[in-house]
Amino acid sequence: MSALIEVEHLSRYFGKICAVNDISFKLSKGEVLGFLGVNGAGKTTTMQMLSGCLAPSQGIIKINDYNILKDPLLAKQSLGYLPDTPPLYKDLTVKEYLHYCAQIHAIPKQRINAALDTVFSRCGLTSVTNRLISHLSKGFQQRIGIAQAIVHNPDLIILDEPTIGLDPIQIIEIRALIKELGKNHGVILSTHILNEVQETCTHVQIIHQGKLIVKESIDTINKSINESSVIFKTTRPIDKQILLTIPGVQNLEVLSNNEFKINFNHSHDLTQQIAEIIIKQDWGLIEISPVKKNLETLFIASTEEPA
């Protein structure tokens, strides 16, 4: 199966300022790609280029094998896009608006009503179909924005900060929706909320100053960031030398009197081995836990300016 979207050496300049610098990636069906970055990192610019709203300065974007510059109409047929501001006609009702969206995405007339019903129930809009968009809350408006992006059932869904401005319950709902969409579609999601990526995405890319600096699947990242160090407490003093001889262990830090931290190579999980040694040496193990580094640490580490 070929990739749903293929991006090669994508760059964008605004005058002399380089907003996006040489980004390449691929995405297949069933994947949810999280695009992480601080404000102004080039996330929105990238999203705009992927959706065909902005022409790239360099590089190729192919959606379902159609180049978005050469065959924009064919490429955009399999694309749903929610920009950072949802493009809502506020003096229409929800139904009128989504009907129009379905129309401009070339859904045949006889299938529009069915498509609308599906999208209403998916995005939880059934109760507000006849309300005026301007009279609805921000949460509903955001959901209409998402509905607009998925009403024509596109293969690729691009969501630019979909949970911004929502309350925690709405965020959970939207994340669940994204996860579900990820099963049958390819989803690209930009955000600066790290949690969101960890919860919903299968792949993560961190973009910083226009460059792609991390590109991993979420499993790899979870592994590498969860298990690189371990903290333990003992009642009796320990012999550091024994622990340092374990292959893979890099160093041992003394945090307080009886609390220590061992850092080791990413490749091996040494937690169990360390625990066994401590018990065997009878140092009086009180607790041992792998350090839960989260994405944040990785994010901060990778976006830090090299001193």
Partner 1 sequence: MTVMSRINQQLHLKNIVITTLILFTLVNLSWLSNKYTYQIDISTSSSNTLSFESQKLLNLLPEPIRITAFIEKGQSIRSQISQLVDRFKYQKQDISLIFIDPQLHPEQIKNLKSSAKDIILVEYQNRVEKLNYIDEESLSYALSQLANMDTHSIKTLLKTNIGTHLNLSEKQIIVLNAIILLIFPLVFLTTGFIIWHKRKAA
Partner 2 sequence: MIIGIAAQEFKSHFKTPMAWVLLAVLQIILGYIFLTQVETFDLMQVKLASIEGAPGLTDIIVTPLFSNAAIILLLVTPLLTMRVICEERRNKTLTLLLAAPISNMQIIIGKYLGTLTLLWLIVMLIALMPLSLLMGGELDIGKYLANVLALILLVAAFTATGIFLSTIASHPTIAAMGTFGILLILWLFNISKTISDQPNELVEYLSLLNHYQNIQTGLINSADILYFFLFVATFIVLSISCLNKQRLQK
DSSP secondary structure of 75-94 = HHHTEEEE-SS----TTSBH
Least distance (Å) between residue 103 CB and partner 2: 4
- Name every residue whose Cβ is closer than 8 Å to that of residue 16 and which is 6 or more positions away in sequence: none
Contact positions with partner 2 (CB under 8 A) in 43-82: 51-55, 72-74, 76-77, 79, 81
Largest interatomic CA distance in the chain: 77
Q: How far is the CB of 91 from partner 1 (least distance, A)?
A: 7
Look up residue 111 and give its two tokens.
């299938």
Decide whether 79 or 262 has the Cβ nearer to partner 2. Answer: 79
The tokens describing 248, both together, are: 């893979």
Residue 76 contact partner, candidates partner 1, partner 2, none, CB within 5 to 8 A by sort of partner: partner 2
Q: Which is nearer to partner 2, 53 or 255 (CB)?
A: 53
Distance set, CA 8 to CA 24, 182, 189, 225 (Å): 4, 23, 18, 28
85 contact choice in partner 2, partner 1, none (CB below 5 to 8 Å, kind-dependent): partner 2
Binding residue for partner 1, selected from 37, 42, 52, 56, defined by CB under 8 A: 56
**Smallest distance from partner 2 to CB 109, Å:** 10
Cα distances (angstroms) measured from residue 252 to each of 237, 280, 288: 14, 19, 14
Neighbours of 66 (CB within 10 A): 18
Q: How far is the CB of 214 from partner 1 (least distance, A)?
A: 23
Name the binder of 127 from partner 1, partner 2, none, CB < 5-8 A by kind.
none
User: Is 289 a binder of partner 1 (CB under 8 A)?
Assistant: no
Residue number, 143 or 238, with CB nearest to partner 2: 143
Q: Is 104 an interacting residue with respect to partner 2 (CB under 8 A)?
A: yes
Amino acid (1-letter code) at residue 38: V
Q: Does 103 sit near partner 2 (CB under 8 A)? A: yes
Q: Is 209 in the site for partner 1 (CB under 8 A)?
A: no
Interaction residues for partner 1, span 131-160 (CB under 8 A): 131-132, 135
Task: Show Cβ contacts of residue 156 under 8 Å, excluding neighbours closer than 6 positions.
Answer: 4, 5, 27, 63, 64, 78, 79, 80, 185, 186, 187, 188
Q: Rounded to whole angstroms, how far apart are CA atoms 53 and 217?
A: 28
CB of 45 to partner 1, least distance (A): 12
Kind of pairing, strands 66-67 and 211-217? unpaired
Tell me the number of residues near partner 1 by CB under 8 A: 15
Q: Does 59 bind partner 1 (CB under 8 A)?
A: yes
Q: Shortest approach of partner 1 to residue 64 CB, angstroms?
A: 20
Q: Which does 43 bind (CB under 5 to 8 A by kind): partner 2, partner 1, none?
A: none
The one-letter code for the residue type at 267 is S
Considering only 38, 69, 213, 291, the residue that binds partner 1 (CB under 8 A) is 69
Q: Which is nearer to partner 2, 91 or 276 (CB)?
A: 91
∠ CA(24), CA(25), CA(31), 5° rounding? 165
Selected from 9, 58, 89, 302, the binder of partner 2 by CB under 8 A is 89
Q: What is the DSSP string of 136-175?
A: S-HHHHHHHHHHHHHTT--SEEEEESTTTT--HHHHHHHH
